[in-house]
Amino acid sequence: MADHPLEQAATEQRNPASERLDEMSALEIVDLMNAQDRRVAEAVHAAREALAQAVEIVVAALRAGGRLFYLGAGTSGRLGTLDAAECPPTFGTDPEQVQAVIAGGREALVRAIEGAEDRAEEAAAALRERGFGPGDVLAGIAACGLTPFVRAGLEFAAGLGARTLFLTCNPRLDPMPRADVVIALDVGPEVLTGSTRLKAGTATKLALNTLTTAAMVRLGKCYGNLMVDLRATNEKLRARSVRILRQLCGLDDAAARRALAEAGGGLKVAILMARRGLARDQATALLARHQGVLRRALEG
């Protein structure tokens, strides 16, 4: 009987450093895991060129009205869902702009759905249900690289003519799924053999953080390093909006709160009103003329 493909996956190999894991003290386990985690940032750095290519693909699609979809199972699917969920409050995006599809559906976010990752036929059905089209981008996430649900989704997307990205922690996977860009993160074997919620999960989180943050920055969602497109949906974010107004416009706290209220809660509009002495409708129109990019609106 031939070996299962997983036998050769980097994510399934035993880590020599942790072969006596069950004999270690709590502090020894903590130190070992911390030492192993240092490899994660190096793995993401090594994939920087692929990540940059992926960013440009996402930017082009979003600028043209397309969307970014994450597709994954288990930990990979949950990390995609987390990244998608954080885009609207951070960057003021429409919730439809960055979406996540997880094998097994919403229930799989809070508990394991046995066998969901093996149901390849459900990937295309889930994407069709959301209206996935050729102008969208599909980012398949699979730590081991073999997940049938993810591979089938990539084939479906490519068949439509959509751009595709593939993120894996199995860099020597052969064959790799067909994708425009492959982001292969070489984190090495896990401390607990096969537990890809560890280094592989951390590396995936870092890569997704980089992908959407860099894309949103390129789309003009920040000014300098400030979140000027955030949605002030809670007190923390309202306070951040006021602080940004104080920093960029030299306003005191009360004046900043008034400016934000007069702008209808729109931070970019409030900044333009304060810095250029514009009425709300004028600031809104100016921002629109510059495709929502605050720096261009301030300098134009």
Q: Would you mind telling me the total number of residues written for the chain in this entry?
A: 300
Active site residue 117: yes
* 288 CB-contact burial (10 Å; exposed 0-12 / middle 13-18 / buried 19+): exposed
Write out the H or E segment, with its range, that includes residue 76: helix 74-91
Q: Which of 12, 117, 122, 190 is catalytic?
A: 117
Contact criterion met (CB below 8 Å) for 291 and 300: no
Give one DSSP letter per residue of 133-148, joined into a string. -TTSEEEEE-SSS--H
Tell me the CA distances in angstroms from 6 to 10, 80, 184, one per residue in order: 8, 23, 16
What distance lies between CA 37 and its chain's CA centroid? Answer: 20
Tell me the CA distances in angstroms from 230 to 88, 116, 221, 259, 266, one per residue in order: 7, 35, 8, 16, 9
SS3 255: helix
The CB density around residue 4, as the number of other CB atoms within 10 Å, is: 10
Distance in angstroms (rounded) separating the CA atoms of residues 117 and 194 = 16
Q: Who contacts 284 (Cβ-Cβ below 8 Å, separation ≥6)?
A: 266, 269
Q: Which of 19, 42, 86, 122 is catalytic?
A: 86
Distance in angstroms (rounded) separating the CA atoms of residues 153 and 62 = 20
- Active-site residues, by number, are 86, 117
